Structure 1
């Protein structure tokens, strides 16, 4: 295991864990003063006040957790890339095929390889496909190869269909689409860093 990269990702994990705890603690304190009159509807639907309170609490915690988990993993993958390719960087390019958005962001540009890094993508929004179609075409026209690296695949049927459409889109214009095990393998093969092993080691240290 590369100790230099491990230390960077461990420090990043510690920072995200502390920030997450702080945000959750603040929200839990705020919720103590929330209006709970909507619990009437919960009870009508057979959910007790206690259970309703837990549902609201974990829904709030979940929003923070998903946000922080995604941002952490995307940043950790970028650390691996920047270790192997110091000149790689987050890059914005103008949208040459439409007015909105004005620019598209490439998470990590390595030479002509334009990486989009996602921890997962569970969207079921059809507009997402349209925007992504435009994005990859703009990247291609710029002379770059669009590469999508998504570590966790969605589990719901409609979200899976959208990902299958995006995979066809990427492959159709000469790009690459990696997800699940192939995403972890791509990072390891491309950077020489076993990100999955690093994360498993950090997770074990929390136990």
Structure 2
């Protein structure tokens, strides 16, 4: 059992190390990404809104989402995620989308 644990642990460490390198590289690339398309929002008076119903758990993905939140804020936009995304949809539409989807999912798993 200990041998299997070590093999899985080593495999996971290898994947984690590789992922760390790839994410680090992508974060560097993102610093050079062309975000000029956000200028159109400023010119047209358009308010960009990003809605992310589920916020990621991985630290690298969270950093990317935080960067997007900063970008949206920088152009006068809004960024809603997690519970705030569901609340935003309900406030704008008067429809409890989370409740509806939860009910559908609950009925689907029963039947």
Q: TM-score, normalization: structure 1?
A: 0.37
Which has more strand, going by share of residues?
1
Displacement of 1:159: 1.3
Q: Equivalents in 1 of 2:56, 2:38: separation in Å?
A: 21
Aligned to 2:69: 167
* Alignment of 1:146 onto 2:44: no
Q: TM-score, normalization: structure 2?
A: 0.65
Alignment of 1:118-137 (within 5 A): 125-126=26-27, 130-131=33-34, 133-137=35-39
Asked if 1 retains the 8 angstrom alpha-carbon contact of 2:89 and 2:97, the reply is yes
Partner SS state of residue 177, structure 1: strand
Asked if 1 retains the 8 angstrom alpha-carbon contact of 2:41 and 2:48, the reply is yes
Which has more helix, going by share of residues?
2
Aligned pair count reads 85
Q: Equivalents in 2 of 1:170, 1:142: separation in Å?
A: 15
Alignment of 1:172-183 (within 5 A): 172-183=74-85
Asked if 2 retains the 8 angstrom alpha-carbon contact of 1:149 and 1:179, the reply is yes
Q: In structure 1, list runs of 5 or more residues that go unmatched.
A: 1-45, 48-123
The verdict on how the C-alpha distance between 1:180 and 1:189 changes in structure 2, with shifts beyond 3 A counting, is same
RMSD: 2.1
Displacement of 1:187: 0.1
